[in-house]
Each structure stands twice: as C-alpha cells, then as structure tokens.
C-alpha cells in the first residue's frame, strides 16, 4: 500500500499482522497467490470460484428482472464476452488509469456502491489498497482479487472472472471503454462479500466508503429542519476536500420535488469537486456532482447548458464540460435544496474541524453481546454492568477551541451470517462514564453505575450499520459501554475509538 498522507497513528494493527493493510485476512480462506500459482502451473486451466460460482445463487433474486430475463443470464469470461460481441479487442484490466468516467450502472440497483467508487477514484492511495494494481490479463489464470475493510480488518477477496451477461451485454456495471474490466470485477468481489449481486440492491454510499477506507463516516441531512446551514455545510465540504475524503450524496425521495430538474429521486450521487467562481462581482459557490449512471444531469442554474457560464471569465468557463457524461455543476443553495443526504468518509476525523496537522490514535475492539452473560441491555436494566466495558484514557483537548471534539466513536453490529441484507436483531448504542481517580482496575460493577451519572447516556438507540458519535471529553479515564436496547440479545460488534494525541 502506498504511504498514507493522513495523520493517523493506528494502534489497532500490529505491523504486518493479519487484517492489517499490508496483510489482509483471506476471505473464505482463499489465498490468491497460491491459487493463481497452482492454476498457472497446471497450464490452460482457468480458476472457477466454488465459493461464488457463476450461477443463480451468486446472482440472487433481482426484483427488477422477470423470470424469463433471469433464465437468459449467461456467465462469460471477458475474452468470451468480447468474442460474442464480435470485437477483436483483447480484455484489459485497466487502460490509462482508473476514472469515474470509466463505467456506468447496470440492472442492479447499486447506485450507492458506484457513487462510492466514483469518489474513490480521486484518492489514488486508497484506490491502490482496494484495487491491487499489479493485475492484468497477462500471466492469466481467470483469477483476480480486491481488498475491503470489514468490521475492523482488511480482507482479501478472490474471484474468478465469470461475469453475468444478458443479450451479450454485462448485466450490471459496464465499462464505457468496452474492453476494460476493473470496475465489473471490483463489483463482483463486493457482491461476493455481500452475499450476491441482489444483496447489493439498495444501500447507503457511506457503507461502501467505510469498506474502502476503514475510516470515519459522518452524515448530514441538508433538507431537515435542524440541519446545518448551507454556509456550515460548505465549510464542511471544503474541509473534507482538503482532507482527501470520499464524499457522496443522495436526492430526496420525492418525485414531484425533483420534477423537471434532471435529478433522479432517491438516487445516490458522488461529489467530485467544489469551487468558487465570480459572477457580476460576487462569489458563487458551486458543487460538482456525478451521476453513476454516466448520463442524465441536472438542468438548472450552472448546469452544462446554463447560459451563466457565458457570463464568467474564459478561465472559469473551462470548468464547464458540455458533455452528457453524468457529471455537472450546481449552485450550493440548489444542492442543499435537492439533496437530502450528504455522507463524508475519511481515513481520519480531521475533516470534522479542519485541523490537518492533528494526529489521532485509533483502537479497534471486537466484542460480543451474549444472552445471559454479557448482553445486559440499556442502563435502566439491573444487568447493565454485564455489558462489555472498555476503559480509555483521554489526554488531549484543545482548550482554545470550545467544544473541541477530541473523541470519535464508531460502533458497528456484525451480521450473523455475513450477509449485508440480514435484519439486525436490535437497536444498539453507547454510554460513557468518567472514572474517578483511585478507582481499582478491572470491571466496574452495577453499584458504580448506580452511584455515578454518565457523561453521555444513550437516548436514541440506533439500527444504523455504523453508529458514529463525536464527544468533547476533559482529560481523564473513561469507560465506554456498548449495549443493545433490550437485554439478552446475542450479537457481535466492532468498536473503533479515535482519540486525539499530542504526538
């Protein structure tokens, strides 16, 4: 992995340990290097993945396809697909770098995933971690691999290159170049992790961004009553851009509200840039947005065809590319009106306050709630103290900045069978208590929680995949208690604790 440009002291990985960025765990215990070497040694025989076979089980039940269409799905390797299309081109893994313009969405409703890929293409270090760049159709054995961060660990996912097609076209994401296959293969690897292609249908871009970075997610809702102002969101987008964040957004689920705008309702997009331009002596803030369809664009102010571009300087006018590629500019005020959700994901929490020099420690804990043993429920239950407990030291807070957020917590419940569509068993959340000096080490008993008030008590338990909290805590020792709302719920979880450091 290329050296990171972020300021993160990651204490959760021993250098080179399994699950670290340099040594990802082998998903399904499949060793890419070993399998590929075995097939090359055999000569002429190509790998077929028994863990994710080219059949209907891997495709899943796609509700947008009729039974006759499903029966017409044919799994083809890239070279065979090009041959059936009558093309003489040889398949390529990547031609001339990886770009948001390389691909377009297919018949699987996974715009959330593709918008995250669009955002990922801007961050070359992260892209190289997710998509190993030493892959090609040379030295070919029908096998490829990709890496994702899953619940505290990086995993290496092996796939064969059979892709679902219908009528000689790729069923899902396709390459605009025709013979380039990195995007369809990346999608297949993620489908394998999710359970099937159908299990990728519907989701949040923040989920995929988390799996591309292992970083910190924050979600904003511009159209809600208590949302940050347009000015505040602009400042956040500016900080996030400087911190090399992945930024995605989603439109309102209201068809009427988006009528005649060119925007698709309930659809995921990526934010690919921001800028300020001068018009009639005033500054105008613009956001560049990408539709993962690779077409259909905003048609309002500052769109590709807007005459406002004729009123700015020639240098500014170059920013407008008048082509139907799915990417467009829009004014910040319009962006806040039509996009109901903005998600930002970064390797570090620095985008939250824009302090690019700040360093963070990160510790990741794997834990479990076990019914009758360590699933005590919320603080109102007499078994609360049986929940997992994590004692941490807070050493740094910026006294010059009121309310400095020096602690970021991320709690993720793991699906029991590894399938992302699996229904979560219960709502869950976090409680935080400050530990008085002199308190003995070890587990805290129920009387401690009866005597002491929490610094932060969970009021609204979440069912989100990634429950994020930001806190301003004075230096001292604290205990973090993850719990389900009801007791005796068995589930596994991952807790990530980011703390500011003075190093």
Q: What is the dihedral of CA 393, 397, 403, 404, to 10 degrees?
A: -100
* Tokens at 366, concatenated: 């794997």
**CA 291/CA 13 separation, integer angstroms:** 36
User: Which tokens in the block code for residue 259?
Assistant: 């009528």
Asked whether the beta carbons of 323 and 101 are under 8 A apart, the reply is no
Q: What is the CA radius of gyration of the chain?
A: 24
Nearest to 32 by CA among 188, 126, 156: 156
The closest alpha carbon to 150, from 105, 195, 213, 100, belongs to 213
Select which of 94, 111, 336, 362 is catalytic.
Answer: 111
**Which value, to the nearest 10 degrees, does the dihedral of the CA atoms of residues 273, 326, 215, 433 take?**
90
What single-letter DSSP state applies at residue 456?
B
Residue whose pair of structure tokens reads 């003489």 in the numeric block:
88
Cα dihedral across residues 123, 127, 129, 135: positive or negative: negative
Q: Which of 389, 393, 390 is nearest to 474 (CA)?
A: 393
6's tokens: 């972020």
268 with 292: CB under 8 angstroms?
yes
Active-site residue identified among 10, 177, 243, 267:
267
Q: What is the 3-state secondary structure (H, E, C) of 87-148?
A: CCCCCECCCCCCCCCCEECCCCCCHHHHHHHHHHCCCHHHHHHHCCCCCCCCCCCCEEEEEE
3-state secondary structure of 42: helix
Question: Rounded to an integer, what distance in angstroms lies between the CA atom of residue 87 and that of residue 28?
Answer: 35
CA 341 to chain CA mean position, Å: 14
Give residue 467's Cα distance to chain centre. Answer: 14
111 has catalytic annotation: yes
Q: In what order do the strands lie in the sheet with 467-471?
A: 8-10, 359-369, 491-501, 407-414, 467-471
Q: Which of 10, 179, 217, 291 is catalytic?
A: 291
| Beta strand pairing call for 476-484 and 428-435 | antiparallel
Which are the catalytic amino acids? 111, 267, 291
């Amino acid at each position: 992995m290329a050296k990171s440009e972020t300021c993160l002291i990651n204490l959760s990985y021993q250098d080179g340990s399994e699950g670290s960025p340099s040594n990802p765990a082998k998903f399904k215990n499949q060793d890419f290097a070993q399998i590929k070497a075995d097939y090359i040694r055999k000569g002429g025989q190509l790998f077929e993945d028994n863990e994710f076979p080219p059949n209907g089980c891997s495709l899943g039940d796609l509700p947008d396809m009729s039974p006759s269409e499903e029966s017409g799905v044919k799994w083809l390797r890239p070279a065979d697909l090009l041959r059936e299309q009558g093309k003489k081109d040889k398949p390529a893994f990547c031609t001339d770098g990886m770009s948001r313009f390389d691909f377009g969405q297919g018949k699987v409703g996974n715009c959330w995933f593709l918008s995250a890929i669009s955002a990922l293409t801007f961050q070359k270090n992260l892209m190289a971690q997710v998509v190993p760049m030493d892959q090609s159709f040379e030295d070919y054995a029908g096998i490829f691999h990709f890496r994702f961060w899953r619940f505290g660990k990086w995993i290496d996912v092996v796939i064969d290159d059979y892709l679902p097609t219908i009528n000689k076209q790729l069923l899902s994401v396709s390459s605009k170049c025709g013979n380039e296959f990195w995007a369809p293969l990346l999608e297949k690897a993620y489908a394998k992790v999710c359970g099937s292609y159908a299990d990728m249908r519907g989701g949040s871009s923040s989920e995929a961004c988390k799996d591309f970075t292992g970083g910190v997610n924050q979600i904003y809702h511009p159209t809600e009553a208590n949302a940050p102002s347009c000015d505040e969101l602009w400042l956040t987008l500016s900080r996030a851009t400087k911190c090399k964040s992945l930024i995605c957004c989603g439109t309102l689920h209201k068809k009427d509200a988006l009528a005649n705008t060119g925007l698709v309702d309930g659809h995921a997009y990526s934010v690919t840039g921001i800028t300020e331009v001068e018009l009639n002596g005033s500054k105008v803030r613009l956001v560049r947005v990408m539709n993962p369809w690779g077409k259909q664009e905003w048609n309002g102010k500052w769109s590709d065809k807007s005459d406002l571009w004729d009123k700015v300087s020639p240098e500014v006018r170059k920013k407008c590319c008048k082509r139907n590629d799915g990417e467009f500019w829009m004014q910040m005020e319009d962006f806040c009106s039509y996009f109901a959700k903005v998600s930002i994901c970064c390797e570090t929490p620095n985008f939250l306050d824009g302090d690019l020099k700040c360093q963070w420690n990160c510790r990741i804990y794997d834990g479990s709630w076990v019914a009758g043993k360590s699933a005590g429920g919320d603080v109102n239950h007499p078994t609360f103290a049986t929940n997992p407990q994590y004692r941490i030291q807070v050493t740094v807070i910026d006294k010059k900045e009121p309310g400095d957020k020096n602690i970021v917590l991320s709690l993720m419940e793991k699906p029991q069978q590894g399938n992302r569509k699996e229904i979560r068993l219960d709502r869950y959340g976090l409680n935080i208590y400050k530990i008085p000096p002199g308190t003995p080490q070890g587990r805290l008993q129920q009387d401690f929680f009866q005597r002491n008030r929490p610094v932060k008590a969970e009021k609204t338990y979440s069912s989100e995949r990634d429950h994020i909290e930001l806190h301003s805590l004075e230096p001292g020792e604290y205990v973090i208690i993850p719990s389900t709302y009801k007791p005796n719920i068995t589930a596994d979880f991952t807790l990530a604790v980011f703390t500011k450091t003075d190093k």
